[in-house]
Amino acid sequence: MSLLELRAVDKIFGGLHAVRGVSFQVEKGAIFGLIGPNGAGKTTLFNVITGVYTPEHGQILFEGRNIAGLKPALIAERGVARTFQNIRIFRTMTVAENVMVAGHHLHKASIADAMLRTRSYERDEQALTKRAQELLEVLGLAELAHEVAGSLPYGSQRRLEIARGLMLSPQLLLLDEPAAGMNSQEARTLNEQIRFLRDQLGLTVILVEHNMAVVMNVCETIHVVDHGETIAQGTPAEIKSHPKVLAAYLGEEQPGNQALA
Amino acid sequence: MRALIRFGIAALILLAIYGLEFGVEAAFTEYVQRIILLAGINVILAVGLNLINGTTGQFSIGHAGFMAVGAYGAAFVGVKLAPPVHGALGSGPLADAVVFNVALLVGALFAGISGLIVGMPSLRLRGDYLAVVTLGFGEIIRILFNNATFLGSATGYSGDDPSGLPAYTNFFWVFAWATAIVTLIHNLTFSQTGRSLTAIREDEIAAEAMATPTTRLKVTAFAISAATAGVAGGLFAHMQAGVRPEDFRFERSIDMIVMIIVGGLGSISGAILGGIFVAVSLELMRDLQQYRLVLYALLLIVIMIVRPEGLLGTRELHHLLRRKKTAKPATPTESA
């Protein structure tokens, strides 16, 4: 059984068929790339998977159960974490606090416990702080734990979003353009971090990315969408030379073009 | 051991407030004492409102309604509870304390339940629905009390005794309650729940994606906020001979918003300062009563231009002091 399976998913906004009959399977432990030109429906697919949108048709099976139409918080609780294309960190909070927000499942103490600062509250708080610190170390942000998140450089904010997502102890991590705005050095570090997440933390990763150096390097399977429809799926080598992909990106078929290399 | 220490600290604080009461009574005229009591009540109102408007970022502009529910609830329960309690405990200060505090708690409960009723439908949605609904609620409650004959209609409720409601409210009770509420709300704000509430304010979509039960937390925070306004209402009711619907007009909700904006939305110490500021400035502007909304509007405009984040922004006084202390020695950054 695949960890995530989309079956003929449709998402329609008024007259716009943003996603049309998209199906794919993501195996456990995969690093799966989702690419396509601007406006192809990649982020819409992420929003459908994470419950921000309810698909009009189709099923989204996570660990074999249909999650289509569930509330985002519930899907997150089941183990689907994500980052956002246009960074959505909690800007006025510190880096550590940002990560701790996602630690609900580690913090069982009630509101009354919090108000009265009981022992169980303090125990949970300590566990949460410790876990947040560990995750910040994984992403190389430990030194910045007490900085205000909004003051971080762009690349660090992106990594903070990943750390925050990891706090959910997810099975599946959806990264929406994690390399956007990163320089090539930062992008290389990102490649290593994504592999680390899969190899060391056992995560399955789905990646939406325009930076082809990252996608081709780190993904094992790539799924290409254009105008909301699947046009190809395959290994990086297959996708690089796929005529439909080249057509979608360049507007015409030009065998041997190096734009995607 | 821990519980014992805490109990000791609480007892010491209460003792200090009790001692202060004598000082205040000796040092100030009754007029000044009344302003001090109003300042204490304002602190409760402001800190409670700040939880929802400041920390959670969901704007309520009808908190006078919850204050009214608490005021009427506490007054009514206080009046009805007094005879049996006096029968059982005699008519000393102990019986009065029991009646008063039970009345305040019941008033807070009523206000909290009204908060749940108002909050549940309007906080399920993202956006500014709460402002619209609370605005309506504040007016509906006032008009309801205006027409409730068993609560004295427009002349207000003053109990069964012709001398009016008993004047239970004094320095000790106002500041004991204020201390308790500020402590509880401070602890809540600086906890996982508080972090989640702030996350909702900062970015509700991201908060949801991080498994935060946003609706439940917003409604809970709102109900707590409404309940604290209820306590303030109960204290306010027992400062005078009766509670009248016109004590809870829209202007009072605006007063509360001014308190938290002056102090800095999202800051508890700011709310405390703002509460005191409004109590004092209302007295200074007593002769200009009908112009106060104009003056407050002017003040808000000046704040928006000069210091849009309010006096303290989202910072807390004790955090600023602590930072200054730790900032002096050049300690290496924490890393483990």
Residues A14 and A118 in one domain: no
On whether residue A58 sits in a domain, the answer given is: yes
Question: Which chain B residues are within 8 Å of A116, Cβ to Cβ?
Answer: 184, 187
On whether residue A84 sits in a domain, the answer given is: no
Q: Does B207 touch chain A (CB under 8 A)?
A: yes
pLDDT at B90: 82
Total domains, chain A: 2
Of A114, A121, A168, the CB nearest to B210: A168
For B297-312, what is each residue's pLDDT tens digit? 888 888 888 888 888 8
Question: Which chain A residues are within 8 Å of B327, Cβ to Cβ?
Answer: none
**A133, A150, A167 — which closes off a domain?**
A167
For A72-85, what is each residue's pLDDT tens digit? 999 999 999 999 99
**A131, A151, A167 — which closes off a domain?**
A167
**Mean pLDDT value across residues B24-35:** 92
The most confident of the ranges A94-108, B62-76, B115-129, B239-253 is B62-76
Of A76, A88, A114, the CB nearest to B192: A114
On whether residue A72 sits in a domain, the answer given is: yes
Residues A160 and A180 in one domain: no
Half-sphere exposure of B125 (CA within 13 A, CB side): 11
Q: For residues B119 and A142, what is the distance between their CA atoms, to the nearest angstrom?
A: 39
Residues A177 and A162 in one domain: no
CATH of residue A11:
3.40.50.300
Q: Which domain holds residue A36?
A: 1-79+170-261
Residues A174 and A260 in one domain: yes
Of the candidate ranges A43-47, B149-153, B241-245, the one whose mean pLDDT is the lowest: B149-153
Q: Does B306 touch chain A (CB under 8 A)?
A: no
The most confident of the ranges A104-108, B262-266, B271-275 is B271-275
**Tokens for B52?**
């929802």
- How many CB atoms are closer than 10 A to CB B147? 11
Q: For residues B222 and A248, what is the distance between their CA atoms, to the nearest angstrom?
A: 51
**A145, A167, A189 — which closes off a domain?**
A167
Residues A123 and A192 in one domain: no
pLDDT at B296: 83
pLDDT, averaged across chain B: 90
Q: How do the domains of chain B map onto residue ranges?
A: 2-249
**Confidence grade of residue B329 (pLDDT, cut at 50, 70, 90):** very low
pLDDT at B323: 64
**Mean pLDDT value across residues A156-175:** 94
B193-230 burial, b for 16+ CB within 10 Å, e for fewer?
bbbbbbbbbbbbbbbbbbbbbbbebbbbbbbbbbbbbb
Residues A22 and A145 in one domain: no
Residue A259, SS3 per DSSP? coil
- pLDDT at residue A9 tops 90: yes
- pLDDT at residue B75 tops 60: yes
**Mean pLDDT value across residues A21-46:** 93
